[in-house]
Amino acid sequence: MASGNNTGLPYGRVWNFSAGPSVLPVSVLEEVQRDLLNYKGTGMSVMEMSHRSKTYDDIIEGAEATLRRVLKVPDNYAVIFLQGGGTGGFAASYLNLFACKAVRDKQRKLGRQLSCDYLVTGSWSKGGLKEAQRLGGRPNVVLDGVRATKTGAVSYHSLPPVSEWKLGKPEETAFVYYCENETIHGVETPSSLVVDAVDPSVPVICDMSSNMLSRPVDIKRFGAIIAGAQKNMGPAGVSLVIVRKDLLERDEAGVEAVRSIPSVLDWLYYASAGSMPHTPPTFAIYVCSLVFKWAEEQGLEALERLRQARSGLVYDMIDAHPEFYRGPVDRYYRSRMNVVFNLPTKELEAQFIAEAAKRSMIQLKGHRSVGGVRISLYNAMPLEGAQVFVEFMKEFYEANRL
């Protein structure tokens, strides 16, 4: 933790650059604080009220309605709040798609099990691939972006050109799966790059956990979008699925497939019950509802400009001193949410992180699997946070350059 606080932020807060759970808008936290003991005159907290009450119905229905407006979700898509996190999403995507009528019809016509395409651009998409393999799928690796860095370490920092992708034949493919923003490796794949490359008959399943609500998204180009809340949407404990309703259709032939889906991962089970077949993560959804309203007030176009401005400041500093701040990710695929870089030595990295903490800038250590430095710049981080960090980068460079 920071030793001392000179940020000027309210409530003695620090500059929290955590990759998740992440910083939340102060205005949202203030509203949560006001409502914590007595929600809107009910005499109880949201954490205490029945999820079957009219008051909570208004909260969860309002959350969905706001999100639909913000993202312009078409009527032929279901919005589901559930639990299970990213790993649950890996399994749920595979199991639900192979239970849907359209995929099973295609499979019967082919006469054998369909494959599923995976773009491996970092640890999270690799996790999705491994889960499909574990469940008995026939995944086809469209691309694997792993390669050696200049320092010899193996990492993800680019994608091969589309001409080198190994997409399966549409008639033999159930779905295409990719993670749009890899929080560990700092790789962000433009959605248009993927959806433009995939045959329209094949649904695209996208994990948008760490860049949801940071820019406008053309929902209708996706079969399903999955996202954990704890980056841009709210606290940990709730996940979001936006899925085209035809992909929830099932027939008698799919009974056995459905039996293999645990209820807690069954999208149709949740969609049919308004996300409440049983007790949902009530408090987390309530906080998400406030963040959705905050995002609506900001506007996604403004949030996109802000994400470009924040990350641009940091990348400009990296580019100005590439021999000192070593950013491994190719420019076109640089994440606007999670900026990763290395310094010339591990000792300098440790010193950088320690000195930043003394200035109330915390959670800068890179993921344990890759090391280095990582600064996460989610929606609630004001531009001033990036400016303060870049000023520190300048001073640290001047004091320690080789």
Is residue 198 domain-resident?
yes
* Structural domain count of the chain: 2
Q: How far apart are CA 242 and CA 66, in angstroms?
A: 14
- Judged by DSSP in three states, 92 sits in helix
Closest by CA to 311, choosing from 397, 259, 389, 219, is 389
> In this structure, are 262 and 307 located in the same domain?
no
- Residues forming the active site: 124, 207, 231
> In this structure, are 312 and 263 located in the same domain?
no
> In this structure, are 317 and 209 located in the same domain?
no
Q: What counts of helices (H) and strands (E) characterise the chain?
A: 12, 15
> In this structure, are 275 and 390 located in the same domain?
no
Tokens of 257: 């497939």
**pLDDT tens string 267-319:** 999 999 999 999 999 999 999 999 999 999 999 999 999 999 999 999 999 99
State the pLDDT at residue 360.
97
> In this structure, are 99 and 197 located in the same domain?
yes
State the pLDDT at residue 117.
98
Burial of 11 (0-12, 13-18, 19+ CB in 10 A): exposed
Contacts of 38 (CB under 8 A, 6+ apart): 44, 45
CA dihedral 236, 238, 239, 242 (to 10 degrees): -140
**pLDDT tens string 51-96:** 999 999 999 999 999 999 999 999 999 999 999 888 899 999 999 9
Is residue 303 domain-resident?
yes
pLDDT of residue 3 exceeding 80, the answer is no
**pLDDT tens string 215-237:** 999 999 999 999 999 999 999 99
Pick the last residue of a domain from 270, 296, 322.
296
Pick the last residue of a domain from 296, 326, 346.
296
State the pLDDT at residue 74.
98
Tracing tokens 């820019």 back to the chain, one arrives at 215
CATH of the domain at 387: 3.90.1150.10
Domain extent for 163: 54-296
Question: 145 pLDDT band (50/70/90 cuts)?
Answer: confident
Is residue 41 domain-resident?
no
User: What separation in angstroms does the CA of 187 have from each of 146, 154, 389?
Assistant: 11, 14, 21
Arithmetic mean of pLDDT, 145-152: 64
pLDDT of residue 4 exceeding 50, the answer is no
CATH of the domain at 236: 3.40.640.10
Please, are residues 62 and 40 in contact by the beta-carbon 8 Å criterion? no
Give the sign of the dihedral formed by CA 19, CA 25, CA 31, CA 33.
positive
Strands 115-120 and 173-179: parallel
**pLDDT tens string 174-231:** 999 999 999 999 999 999 999 999 999 999 999 999 999 999 999 999 999 999 999 9
State the pLDDT at residue 94.
96
DSSP category for residue 377: -
CA dihedral 370, 374, 379, 381 (to 10 degrees): 160
Is residue 29 domain-resident?
no
> In this structure, are 286 and 209 located in the same domain?
yes
Q: How far apart are CA 336 and CA 344, in angstroms?
A: 23
